[in-house]
Amino acid sequence: MSLALRGTTILGVRAGDRFALGGDGQVTLGDTIVKSGAVKVRRMEEYGILCGFAGSAADGFALFDRFEKRLAEFNGRTQRAAVELAKDWRTDRALRRLEAMLAVMDSEHTLLISGTGDVLEPDDGIVAIGSGGNYARAAARAFLAAGWDDPARIVRDSLAIAADVCVYTNHSIEVLEP
């Protein structure tokens, strides 16, 4: 599943029992690039989770914090924390105004969390959000179909392809593995 927010591309890929999540570093304000090396993915070490955001940076960081609090509350159970965050996001007046999305991966789950209350788990183990998400997802699917089995390499090369086509995505790529 890929949903578009202008300003970044986040891609997560699962290949066998391995997974990786990455994102580009471009930050835009309208049609202007204001930063090229932002980091929009992070490890939640305590839980073995990788998380990335697309959308407003402040909103993305607020969601990271809320998600981490929910993880602590539910003893690191990713799906439960994601569902509770999505419920909060949908029902809380302040949270409803947040303009960001989260991509979350752990050893078992690949999730997309949106402000409309969605917690989606793609069938193919690929999650893509942001303006270049569809390009990165298509490239990742092609690499997997070609037999590639290194999720970090798939994420890096797919994001590079997205950066070549999407003006809101750049080549300052950060890729995380657990």
Q: What is the CATH number of the domain that holds 134?
A: 3.60.20.10
Total count of residues recorded for the chain: 178
pLDDT tens figures, 98-117: 678 899 999 999 999 987 77
Kindly list the distances between the CA atom of residue 34 and the CA atoms of 9, 83, 118, 162, in Å, as whole numbers in the listed order.
16, 33, 30, 19
Q: How many domains does the chain have?
A: 1
Catalytic residue among 8, 9, 78, 169: 8
Q: What percent of the chain has pLDDT over 70?
A: 92
116 is catalytic: no
70 pLDDT above the threshold of 90: yes
Burial class (CB in 10 A: 0-12, 13-18, 19+), 148: middle
Q: Which helix (H) or strand (E) holds 162?
A: helix 151-165
Closest CA to 165 of 128, 133, 127, 135: 135
Q: Which domain, by its residues, includes 77?
A: 2-176
pLDDT band, residue 167 (cuts 50/70/90): very high
